[in-house]
Amino acid sequence: MVIRTAVVLTLTLCALLVTALVGHDYRYEERRLTIDLPDVSLDAILTTPERVPARGIVVVIHGDGAVDSTHDGGYNPWFEAAADAGFATLSWSKPGVGGSTGNWLHQSMADRADEASAVIDWALANEIAPTGTIVLWGASQAGWVLPEVVAARTDIDAVVAVSPAINWLRQGRFHLLAELDHDGAGTSERAQAIRVSDRVRELLRSGVDYATYLDLTLESHPMSADRWQFALLNYTSDAEAGLAAMAARDIPVLLMLAEHDRHVDIDETATTYRRLLEEALTMEYVDAAHSMVRRPMDDSPGLAFVTAIMWPRALFSAETLDSYRDFLVAQ
């Protein structure tokens, strides 16, 4: 009986190992790069289609947070979908993340746009991949960066915007209320959370220094000094003017919205993009959470962790990656 149990456990472990190996075997080739810019050195990754030349390149612009070049492997299925469409993908770790120098929390959205544009110039100068077709892919906070890059350049051919917000302060309030609703917060808890948020807004508008913020905030877990600086730099961000400038370029835009997004008001985003971009816009609603992962993954961190280890593609619905691939094929 003991021997039989050991055999079963061994076979099970072998099956899990094989599944994990296959699950992380992607249809692209990968190359690590260092992008040296005047003020920062960026740790980057370039993925390309297997056995065939790329016909264009996707440049990735991250959302919020300390994101590395692959988003801890979460971008890999996106890289694969792009490779299937014949596209290379260029992504880099934010300043201060992984092997990149600098500090991303010291960047404004304009700084982030300048960085992305500098990376594109670097790619053009170094001929690392075909740049005859350049597509920008950006998620969440990148919604304030993508339009600025497009408006400043004449060589961007298409944009993929995943769960982008429109207005920094409205997005923050929407997220707060959506989380309170999701958690079933009572009336008093809800009122207190709004009071705390309102105090932070007042302090931002007053432009107070970090010591004053710490003294006056009502938050039980205040921001770090760097995070406060980041908020001061960016709390007035609004995408409308940038989107209007991007509309003048009349390039194809794929807007992907998660139907169960608790971070971004997808109704506001959809209305604004549709009004400003009109016929240039293709809009896809996905049965997913903010990061485009399937709802069960968002509701169960344990399940998401195991899935990410065993079969990362399953984090996303097939329609999400198929829509992305098909959009690239059409470019």
Residue 258: enclosing H or E segment and its boundaries?
Answer: strand 253-258
Q: Are 187 and 64 in the same domain?
A: no
Distance of CA 146 to the CA centre of its chain: 11
Residue with tokens 């404004």: 108
Could you read off the pLDDT of 197-255 as tens digits, one per residue? 999 999 999 999 999 999 999 999 999 999 999 999 999 999 999 999 999 999 999 99
Strand 87-92 vs strand 41-48: parallel, antiparallel, or unpaired? antiparallel
Domain that includes residue 118, residue range: 28-166+246-329
C-alpha 197/C-alpha 100 separation (Å) is 33
CA distance 288 to 301: 15
Give dist(CA 90, CA 32) in Å, integer. Answer: 10
pLDDT digits (tens, 9 = 90+) for 250-265: 999 999 999 999 999 9
157 and 62 co-located in one domain: yes
Question: Same domain, yes or no, for 259 and 144?
Answer: yes
* Pair (155, 84) in one structural domain: yes
8 lies in some domain = no
Residue 146 lies in a domain: yes
Rounded Cα gap, residues 67 and 73, in angstroms: 11
Residues 120 and 199 placed together within one structural domain of the fold: no
What is the per-residue pLDDT across 133-174, written as a single tens digit (0 to 9) for each?
A: 999 999 999 999 999 999 999 999 999 999 999 999 999 999
In the chain, what's the furthest Cα-to-Cα distance? 73
pTM above 0.85? yes
* DSSP structural state of residue 106: G
Regarding whether 145 and 123 lie in a shared domain, the answer is yes
What are 33-43's pLDDT values in tens digits?
Answer: 999 999 999 99
Write out pLDDT tens, residues 264-318.
999 999 999 999 999 999 999 999 999 888 776 666 676 656 766 766 888 888 7
**Measured in whole angstroms, how far is the alpha carbon of residue 280 from the centre of its chain?**
22
Helix (H, G, I), strand (E, B) or coil at 48: strand
Number of domains in the chain: 2
Question: Same domain, yes or no, for 144 and 251?
Answer: yes
Rg value, the chain, Cα: 21
